């Protein structure tokens, strides 16, 4: 009997982002060319628990390279180890990992390719410990996985932020206003940092560097006094002032991470207006950062990741995740990938470059 793998499952877990379909295509096309069958699992890990899957044929993955979202559907509420079950009026959290494994057996898949961020990699790792053959592909607009130099989806989100800042720039300058823009990123400031830098923000506020209100007010006032009668403030959803807490929009225990951040731009805009007297408006970019077509960079990275994942599967290098290291795609263990979150450091090159061109991070430290 040949010990080659014959059938793989693929799923997209957590929040969607541009490039997911390019990865699915990168997995399925070489798999089909090598005679492998590909089962698409629907709605992330929810589909694994509920047994929702569909065969992916060549025609299904043709023409999806530039398509946003995921043809498989996704969910950030389907963690098999943290499964919300309704009991009467209450939601109880139960473990459904055995069901997930039983479904994989019933489908006859030899390996599962899990495309997702830190939450997905945690689940993939736990399923791997239970004996499932898993391979990871790192996705997230947040770019907060330390094991890879970049996750796919981040570049597309930064593109959206940069374009929005360009648009806000012209209207801010016409009306002599302070414009505050709120971007995603959860507990990491990469989208705000890279998007703010690309879009010429004057102030960038990050979760990693709690800011001083006085520094923020002084920066906009100084610009005003120098004749720059507008300012652009790019604030990460997780940014917080010294001694304060992150602004939370909602807490939902059904989610892997129950906290949904949001609302900081409105708060920052109000404080700036009250304390500087300058007219201020805010914009929340929200899920526009996750929608639409991937940038060329993300299409290329996603294709490299997908094809590398099928290479790992063929080599039976289970428990590994594709990762960008410099210009090369390599692999790391999924376990090491979940051990460290990648956060912005004060000596990050982008932070130093931003400081050098006069960007304020709302702190005296640099
Ligand atoms: O992790 C991706 C992300 O977009 C974060 O930046 C954001 O905090 C979160 O997901 C939003 O989640 P949801 O789509 O559930 O609102």
3-state helix, strand, coil split of the chain in percent (to 5) is 40, 20, 40
The more confidently predicted of residues 3 and 356 is 356
Average pLDDT over residues 215-221: 98
Task: Decide whether any atom of ligand 1 lies within 6 Å of the 290 Cβ.
Answer: yes
State the closest ligand 1 atom to the C-alpha of 262, by its place in the atom list counted from 1. 8
Residue 93 counted as domain residue: yes
Confidence of residue 3 (pLDDT cuts 50, 70, 90): confident
Domain check: are 145 and 167 in the same one? no
- Ligand 1 centre from 259 Cα, in Å? 10
Cβ-count burial 24-34 (b if 16+ within 10 Å, e if not): bbbbbbbbbee
Average pLDDT over residues 191-220: 98
Distance of CA 203 to the CA centre of its chain: 23
Asked whether residue 286 carries a pLDDT value surpassing 90, the answer given is yes
CATH value at residue 91: 3.40.50.450
Tell which one of 12, 13, 14, 15 to mutate to probe ligand 1, the residue whose CB is within 8 A of the most ligand atoms.
Answer: 15
Confidence of residue 2 (pLDDT cuts 50, 70, 90): low
Asked whether residue 20 carries a pLDDT value surpassing 60, the answer given is yes
Asked whether residue 247 carries a pLDDT value surpassing 50, the answer given is yes
Average pLDDT over residues 56-85: 95
Domain check: are 90 and 208 in the same one? no
Q: What pLDDT score does 361 carry?
A: 98
Asked whether residue 43 carries a pLDDT value surpassing 90, the answer given is yes
Residue 336 counted as domain residue: no
Q: Which token pair is 118?
A: 């830190």
Give the rounded percent of residues in the chain with a pLDDT score beyond 70: 99
Average pLDDT over residues 63-87: 94
CATH value at residue 252: 3.40.50.460
Domain check: are 318 and 259 in the same one? no
Confidence of residue 1 (pLDDT cuts 50, 70, 90): very low
Domain check: are 285 and 308 in the same one? no
How far apart CA 237 and CA 294 sit, in angstroms, is: 22
- Which residue minimizes the CA distance to atom 8 of ligand 1? 186
Asked whether residue 165 carries a pLDDT value surpassing 90, the answer given is yes
Confidence of residue 365 (pLDDT cuts 50, 70, 90): confident
Domain range holding 242? 154-291+345-356
Confidence of residue 15 (pLDDT cuts 50, 70, 90): very high
- Ligand 1 centre from 39 Cα, in Å? 26
Burial class (CB in 10 A: 0-12, 13-18, 19+), 212: middle
For the chain, give the mean pLDDT: 96
State the closest ligand 1 atom to the C-alpha of 76, by its place in the atom list counted from 1. 15
Give the rounded percent of residues in the chain with a pLDDT score beyond 90: 93
- Ligand 1 centre from 22 Cα, in Å? 20
């Amino acid at each position: 009997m040949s010990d080659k793998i014959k059938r793989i499952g693929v799923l997209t877990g957590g929040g969607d982002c541009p490039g997911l379909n390019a990865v699915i295509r990168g997995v399925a096309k070489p798999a089909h060319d090598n005679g492998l069958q590909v089962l698409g699992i629907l709605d992330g890990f929810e589909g694994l628990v509920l047994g929702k899957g569909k065969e992916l044929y060549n025609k299904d993955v043709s023409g999806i390279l530039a398509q946003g979202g995921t043809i498989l559907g996704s969910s950030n509420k389907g963690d098999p180890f943290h499964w919300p079950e309704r009991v009467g009026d209450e939601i109880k959290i139960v473990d459904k990992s055995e069901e997930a494994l039983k479904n994989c057996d019933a489908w006859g898949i030899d390996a599962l390719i899990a495309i997702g961020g830190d939450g997905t990699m945690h689940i993939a790792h736990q399923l791997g410990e239970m004996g499932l053959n898993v391979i990871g592909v790192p996705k997230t607009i947040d770019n907060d996985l330390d094991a890879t130099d970049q996750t796919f989806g981040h570049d597309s989100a930064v593109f959206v932020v940069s374009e929005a800042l360009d648009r806000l720039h012209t209207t801010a300058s016409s009306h002599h206003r302070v414009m505050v823009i709120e971007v995603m990123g959860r507990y990491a400031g990469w989208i705000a940092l890279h998007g703010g830098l690309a879009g010429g923000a004057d102030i960038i506020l990050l979760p990693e560097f709690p800011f001083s209100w006085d520094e923020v007010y002084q920066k906009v006032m100084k610009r005003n006094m120098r004749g720059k009668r507008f300012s652009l403030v790019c604030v990460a959803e997780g940014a917080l002032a010294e001694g304060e807490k992150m602004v939370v929009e909602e807490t939902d225990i059904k989610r892997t991470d129950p906290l949904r951040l949001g609302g900081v731009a409105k708060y920052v805009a109000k404080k700036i207006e009250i304390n500087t007297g300058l007219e201020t408006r805010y914009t929340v970019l929200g899920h526009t950062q996750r929608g639409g077509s991937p940038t060329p960079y993300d299409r290329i990275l996603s294709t490299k990741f997908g094809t590398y994942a099928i290479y790992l599967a063929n080599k039976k290098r289970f428990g590994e995740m594709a990762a960008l290291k410099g210009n090369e795609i390599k692999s790391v263990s999924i376990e090491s990938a979940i051990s460290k979150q990648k956060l912005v450091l004060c000596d990050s090159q982008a932070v130093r470059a931003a400081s050098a061109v006069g960007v304020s991070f709302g702190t005296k430290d640099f």
